[in-house]
Amino acid sequence: MLDIKNLHVTVGGKEILKGLTLSIQPGQVHAIMGPNGSGKSTLSFVLAGRSGYDVTEGSIIYNGEDLKAMATEDRAAKGVFLAMQYPVEIPGVTTMTFLKTALNSQRRKRGESDLDAIGVLKLVRAKAKELNVSEEMLKRALNVGFSGGEKKRLEILQMSIFEPKLAILDETDSGLDIDALRLVAEGVNALRSPERAMLVITHYQRLLDYIVPDRIHVLAKGRIVAEGGKELALELEAKGYEHIVGQAA
């Protein structure tokens, strides 16, 4: 599904990713762990197609296509979803309006017809219920005045509505207390499916207690320095990043 080879990325002239190689199959959940500044968020932005993140070398193949050549919104329509660490606020635009606009934009790109207002409402309501997102939240302006937990739940709600093929979760655990974390993790787990790949980016091991990955990659200084199964997270927790990064260096 996703094949990254020898990826080099610069941001503002500074090289952040320095030859990253990674491959994910459908149905798998991979975790990227790493210390601050290792390039975790850069990886998520490059995959999503944020401007200012320039690929200088290497390739990203997504379902047989060159992802780099695809416009940001086209990637979304083709199933790339990034649950953001800091979801943005858009004043004056209700959450429901935003969801409807986004959903129909994606559908149009795929050559599908628009879903009418009632269809969107039904779909959103059904999914919102599962994630404990209230009707009232959907009427408020997008992310404006939302708590940290509400923002992250809304990201997962969008993931559930858009049904992406590749879901990237960037530090979804940051800023959440343990109850909020559990709720979000349950939402994510419910979306695990044989057709869907997930890339979970996190600094801490605790998220992986709830979202158990098939594989863990440790990112440091722009490269994958260690890989393993879920037990690698426990080792990291016990010994710290320094130990593993140091060994690799």
What are the residues binding another protein (CB under 8 A)? 48-52, 71-73, 75-77, 81-82, 84, 86-88, 90-93, 97-98, 101-103, 105-106, 109, 141, 158, 162
- Shortest distance, position 136 Cβ to another protein, whole Å: 18
- Shortest distance, position 108 Cβ to another protein, whole Å: 9
Helix (H) or strand (E) run with residue 109 in it: helix 95-109
CA distance 1 to 177: 33
Q: Among residues 31 and 77, whose Cβ is nearest to another protein? A: 77
User: How many other CB atoms are there within 10 angstroms of residue 96's CB atom?
Assistant: 20
Q: Among residues 105 and 132, whose Cβ is nearest to another protein? A: 105
Cβ-based burial of 90 (10 A; exposed 0-12, middle 13-18, buried ≥19): middle
64's tokens: 């047989």
Amino acid type, 132: N
- Shortest distance, position 118 Cβ to another protein, whole Å: 18
CA-derived radius of gyration, the chain: 18
- Shortest distance, position 83 Cβ to another protein, whole Å: 10
Report the SS3 class of residue 24. Answer: strand
Q: Among residues 77 and 245, whose Cβ is nearest to another protein? A: 77
- Shortest distance, position 113 Cβ to another protein, whole Å: 15
99's tokens: 């969801």
Q: Among residues 158 and 205, whose Cβ is nearest to another protein? A: 158
Q: Among residues 85 and 205, whose Cβ is nearest to another protein? A: 85
